[in-house]
């Protein structure tokens, strides 16, 4: 494939047909056409929240049918990204420059790792490098201060000299071929295994019944109740509940088996629920809400039910969301994440690169310390 490309900017994902989007390397659930278009068409994005769709598609030079894309958004703030860059915004301000607008390539409000250059596997690196170069030229033409590929796994992005690569940390579970949940627990040391069993028993003793259902099985009443729980929990913690009830109704209809809800009921009353996206080999834990403070209910709904689901389906990875050192004692391992950043101003790019390198050294030490807090039977000198 010729590495010379043309690029087109799309203000609505609907401009790219869903069947065509699916040919771009079969994007996983968080970057699927159904998920991203639902965000746009149910009022979750736009100028009010600072996520303005501005996607890129790529075709051979001279036009033709696109063969690749980047899901991208002009950002007027840093809300909903989970790669914190307020210090970078401040540095731009001190230098007399505006940091916003910037261009972010990611799934909105969804800090999950994966490819950000969406293209079939047979597309060579030379074409992917050309995609990056054309994207940066588009950024220069638009006049953004920077471009950010968040939580990316693309080798081209992580090796590009023009980009600053930033390391982060999340807590992921990896399937080591466990037969079932009991087999997974058998890897734990005796103390932590007993504590985890006690946590699960607390939920049962509170009279809570747990059920897992696919998105296709969720009716309107359950979606409305889940949304109310989600909103109240976000409000309680001072966060902004960006997702509308219409969004959940929409993806329940369009994504079906790619969605899993964990429902927690006391008798017939739904008191808590968790929302998950089901990928090809990964489960993505996203949102939860609860109307009661039941000991260990959060762990059961958001972690243990997800782990059981992965084991039943043979999924290889569970990403339960951003942050949360409490996940380590429950078998989620500190895992490096990466983002790649293009900074327009060369001086600021150099300063940010120095900051990111110092940050990486600190992050590596932090993760190494967390490795020694894993609940597994000791296999090292920690």
Looking at the structure, do residues 70 and 132 belong to the same domain, yes or no? yes
Which of 277, 280, 250 shows the shortest CA–CA distance to 261? 277
**CB 251 within 8 Å of CB 35:** yes
Of 8, 238, 76, which is closest to residue 20 (Cα–Cα)? 8
CATH number of 187's domain: 3.40.630.30
Tell me: do 180 and 311 sit in the same domain: yes
Domains contained in the chain, number = 2
Q: For residues 13 and 160, state if they share a domain.
A: yes
What is the separation, in whole angstroms, between the first and last Cα of the chain? Answer: 50
Do residues 235 and 300 share a domain? Answer: yes
Indicate if 164 and 180 belong to the same structural domain: no
Residues 239, 244, 247: CA angle, nearest 5 degrees: 130
Statement to judge: residues 81 and 219 lie in one domain: no
Other CB atoms within 10 A of residue 172 CB: 18
One-character DSSP codes across 202-244: HHHHTTEEEEEEEGGG--HHHHHHHHHHHHHHHHHTT------
Domain assignment present for residue 241? The answer is yes
User: How wide is the angle at C-alpha 109 spanned by C-alphas 97 and 233, nearest 5°?
Assistant: 120
Do 9 and 142 belong together in one domain?
A: yes
Asked if residue 376 belongs to a domain, the reply is no
Give the global pTM.
0.96
Q: What's the pLDDT score for residue 1?
A: 47
Note whether residue 381 is domain-resident. no
Q: Is the separation of the CB atoms in 169 and 355 below 8 Å?
A: no
Q: Are residues 209 and 86 in the same domain?
A: no
User: Residues 155, 254: one domain?
Assistant: no
User: Does one domain contain both 365 and 287?
Assistant: no
What is the structure's pLDDT at 238? Answer: 84
Residue-by-residue pLDDT tens, the chain, 382 positions: 445 899 999 999 999 999 999 999 989 999 999 999 999 999 999 999 999 999 999 999 877 899 999 999 999 999 999 999 999 999 999 999 999 999 999 999 999 999 999 999 999 999 999 999 999 999 999 999 999 999 999 999 999 999 999 999 999 999 999 999 999 999 999 999 999 999 999 999 999 999 999 999 999 999 999 999 999 998 888 888 999 999 999 999 999 999 999 999 999 999 999 999 999 999 999 999 999 999 999 999 999 999 999 999 999 999 999 888 999 999 999 999 999 999 999 999 999 999 999 999 999 999 999 999 999 998 655 7
Residue with tokens 């001086």: 347
Whether 379 is in a domain gets the answer: no
Tell me if 380 is assigned to some domain: no
Please indicate, yes or no, whether residues 157 and 181 belong to a single structural domain of this protein: no
Question: What is the pLDDT, as a whole number, of residue 379?
Answer: 65
In this structure, are residues 153 and 115 in contact, taking their beta carbons and an 8 Å threshold? Answer: yes
What residues contact 104, with CB distance under 8 A and at least 6 apart?
72, 73, 74, 75, 81, 147, 148, 150
Q: Domain of residue 199: give its range.
A: 176-315
Place of tokens 């942050």: 323
Query: Is residue 51, in this structure, part of any structural domain at all?
Result: yes
Structural domain contains residue 330: no
- Do 289 and 66 form a contact (C-beta atoms < 8 A)? no
Residue 96 and residue 240 in one domain: no
Which is nearest to 66 in space by CA: 79, 74, 57? 57
pLDDT at 74: 98
| E strand intervals along the chain | 5-10, 51-53, 55-60, 68-70, 72-75, 102-105, 146-149, 164-174, 208-214, 259-266, 269-278, 282-290, 317-319, 333-343
Please give the pLDDT value at position 380. 54
329 lies in a domain? no
Distances in whole angstroms, Cα of residue 195 to Cα of each of 265, 318, 324, 375, 382 = 23, 21, 18, 10, 21
């Amino acid at each position: 494939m010729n590495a010379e490309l043309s690029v087109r900017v799309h203000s609505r994902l609907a401009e790219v047909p869903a069947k065509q989007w699916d040919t771009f390397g079969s994007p996983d659930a968080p970057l699927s056409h159904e998920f991203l278009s639902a965000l746009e068409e149910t009022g979750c994005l736009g100028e009010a929240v600072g996520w303005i769709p501005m996607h890129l598609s790529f075709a051979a030079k001279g036009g033709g049918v696109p063969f690749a894309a980047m899901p991208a958004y002009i950002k007027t703030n840093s809300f909903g990204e989970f790669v914190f860059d307020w210090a970078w915004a401040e540095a731009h301000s001190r230098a007399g420059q505006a940091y916003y607008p910037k261009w972010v390539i990611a799934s909105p409000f969804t800090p999950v790792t994966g490819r950000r250059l969406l293209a079939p596997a047979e597309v060579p690196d030379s074409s992917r490098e050309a995609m990056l170069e054309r994207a940066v030229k588009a950024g220069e033409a638009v006049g953004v201060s920077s471009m950010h590929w968040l939580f990316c796994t693309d080798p081209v992005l992580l090796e590009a000299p023009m980009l600053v690569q930033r390391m982060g940390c999340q807590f992921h579970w990896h399937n080591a071929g466990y037969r079932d949940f009991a087999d997974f627990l058998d890897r734990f040391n005796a103390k932590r295994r007993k504590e985890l069993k006690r946590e699960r028993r607390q939920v049962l003793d509170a009279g809570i019944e747990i059920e897992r259902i696919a998105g296709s099985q969720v009716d309107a009443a359950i979606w409305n109740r889940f949304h109310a729980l989600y909103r109240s929990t976000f409000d309680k913690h001072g966060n902004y509940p960006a997702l509308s009830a219409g969004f959940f109704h929409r993806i329940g209809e369009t994504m079906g088996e790619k969605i899993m809800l964990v429902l927690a009921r006391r008798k017939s009353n739904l008191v808590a629920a968790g929302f998950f996206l089901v990928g090809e080999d990964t489960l993505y834990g996203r949102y939860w809400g609860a109307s009661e403070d039941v000991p260990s209910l959060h762990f059961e709904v958001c972690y243990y039910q997800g782990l059981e689901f992965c084991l039943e389906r043979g999924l290889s990875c569970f990403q339960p969301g951003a942050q949360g050192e409490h996940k380590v004692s429950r078998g989620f391992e500190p895992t490096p994440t990466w983002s790649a950043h293009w900074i327009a101003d060369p001086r600021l790019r150099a300063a940010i690169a120095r900051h990111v390198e110092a940050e990486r050294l600190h992050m590596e030490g932090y993760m190494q310390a967390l490795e020694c807090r894993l609940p597994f039977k000791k296999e090292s000198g920690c």
